[in-house]
């Protein structure tokens, strides 16, 4: 069922104005597109046939306008990424990009879900997960990811490494809801179960911060904990990192050749290549 009021609100006009435009279109085509039954409005067969064609035409028009806007606004680069990746990995590296490319005005938006490049105006996105079916965009693998047990060096000295999951009960355990210790414990070579869960958090960055404060042993994404391990504030408690998804560089094919997009791509891939994997890691397939 259709609704003139919601359509009018989306367009910023009155419902009567929408109704008049529809009637004018019906008169022009000589066909009824909507069937009205009191307050109910339904598409006729002719309307249902026309709708996807009009939607495709409007999408093409929007893409054409976006192409023109993107080419004209080449000094601004709009990027979307995960908040956790921005906070723990990207922020500390961005000064290098800005120093090399002071003419590029990088604007960053954080979100986890898919990006509508046409409507949002973003030029590129850094996304996390398995490689999906992403039609119409250019996709490259940026970083392999692992789940790694980490804690403070003092806690590691006290309780020792956990290459075998049966040693986990020595520690108070920390994890993110989306990356639970059960992922680690279900590996065939590591039977056993943990006995104390100190924190079950909904934020993967908070898990790393809890570990930094000595709260326990965290199952953390390497991209979020690796820099802290590099500075010695966190220590890796296992020589068996678990391959886990990846980060992807995603952009519409139509903007892949823009100078600002190319500059960011070359820079971020250099930074990713310089980011060492965890000890004992084999590159995931």
CATH fold for domain 76-144+245-274: D-Maltodextrin-Binding Protein; domain 2 (3.40.190)
**Which pLDDT value is given to residue 84?**
94
Q: How far is Cα 15 from Cα 208, in angstroms, rounded to an integer? A: 51
- CATH architecture assignment, domain 146-243: 3-Layer(aba) Sandwich (3.40)
Tell which residue, 178, 190, 182, 174, has the closest CA to residue 238. 190
Output the pTM of the full model: 0.72
pLDDT score, position 72: 46
The pLDDT value given to residue 221: 96
Q: How far apart are CA 17 and CA 15, in angstroms?
A: 5
Per-residue burial over 130-145, b = 16 or more CB atoms within 10 Å of its CB, e = otherwise:
eeeeeeebbeeebbbb
Q: What Cα–Cα distance (Å) separates residue 86 from each residue in 23, 113, 131?
A: 50, 15, 20
Question: CA 279, CA 239: separation in Å to the nearest integer?
Answer: 6
Pairing of strands 173-176, 34-37: unpaired
Structural domain spans, the chain: 4-72, 76-144+245-274, 146-243
CATH code given to domain 4-72: 1.10.10.10
Q: What is the DSSP string of the chain?
A: -B-HHHHHHHHTS-HHHHHHHHHHHHHHHTS--EEEETTEEEE-HHHHHHHHHHHHHHHHHHHHHHHHHHHHTTTEEEEEE-HHHIIIIITTTHHHHHHH-TT-EEEEEE-SS---HHHH--SEEEEEES----TTEEEEEEEEEEEEEEE-HHHHHHH---SSGGGGGGS-EEEETTB-HHHHHTSTT-----S-EEEEES-HHHHHHHHHTT--EEEEEHHHHHHHHHHTSSEE--S-PEEEEEEEEEEEGGGTT-HHHHHHHHHHHHHHHHSPPPTT-----
Cβ(186)–Cβ(197) under 8 Å?
no
Task: Calculate helix-pair angle for 15-29, 4-11, nearest 10 degrees.
Answer: 100
- Residue 199: beta bridge partners? 174
How far from chain centre, in Å, is Cα 15?
37
Rounded distance, CA 141 to CA 145, Å? 11
Cα dihedral value 258, 264, 269, 271, nearest 10: 170
Phi/psi of residue 2, nearest 5 degrees: -95, 165
Q: Do domains 4-72 and 146-243 have the same CATH topology?
A: no
Per-residue pLDDT of the chain (285 residues; tens, 9 = 90+): 456 666 655 555 566 766 777 788 778 778 887 787 766 778 888 877 887 877 776 666 655 555 555 544 457 899 999 999 999 999 999 999 999 999 999 999 998 888 888 778 899 999 998 876 677 789 999 999 999 999 999 999 999 999 877 888 899 999 988 888 888 765 544 444 444 566 667 789 999 999 999 999 999 999 999 999 999 999 999 998 999 999 999 998 888 889 999 999 999 999 999 999 999 887 554
């Amino acid at each position: 069922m259709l609704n003139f009021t919601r359509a009018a609100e989306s367009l910023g006009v009155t419902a009567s104005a929408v109704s008049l435009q529809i009637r004018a279109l019906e008169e022009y085509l000589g066909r009824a597109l909507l069937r009205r039954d009191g307050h109910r409005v339904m598409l006729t067969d002719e309307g249902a046939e026309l709708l996807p064609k009009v939607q495709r035409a409007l999408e093409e028009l929007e893409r054409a306008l976006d192409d023109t806007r993107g080419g004209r606004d080449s000094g601004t680069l709009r990027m979307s990424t995960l908040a956790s990746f921005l906070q723990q990995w990207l922020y500390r590296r961005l000064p290098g990009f800005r120093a090399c490319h002071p003419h590029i005005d990088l604007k960053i938006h954080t979100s986890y879900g898919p990006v509508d490049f046409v409507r949002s105006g973003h030029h590129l996105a850094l996304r996390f997960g398995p490689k999906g079916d992403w039609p119409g965009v250019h996709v490259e693998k940026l970083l392999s990811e692992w789940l790694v047990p980490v804690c403070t060096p003092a806690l590691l000295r006290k309780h020792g490494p956990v290459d075998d999951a049966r040693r986990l009960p020595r520690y108070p355990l920390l994890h993110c809801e989306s990356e639970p210790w059960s992922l680690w414990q279900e590996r065939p070579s590591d039977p056993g179960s943990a006995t104390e869960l100190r924190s079950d958090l909904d934020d993967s960055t908070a898990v790393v911060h809890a570990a930094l404060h000595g709260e326990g042993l965290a199952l953390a994404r390497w991209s979020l904990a690796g820099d802290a391990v590099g500075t010695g504030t966190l220590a890796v408690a296992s020589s068996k990192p678990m391959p886990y998804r990846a980060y992807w560089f995603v952009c519409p094919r139509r903007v892949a050749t823009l100078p600002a997009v190319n500059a960011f791509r070359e820079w971020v891939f250099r930074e990713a290549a310089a980011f060492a994997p965890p000890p004992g890691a084999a590159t995931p397939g």
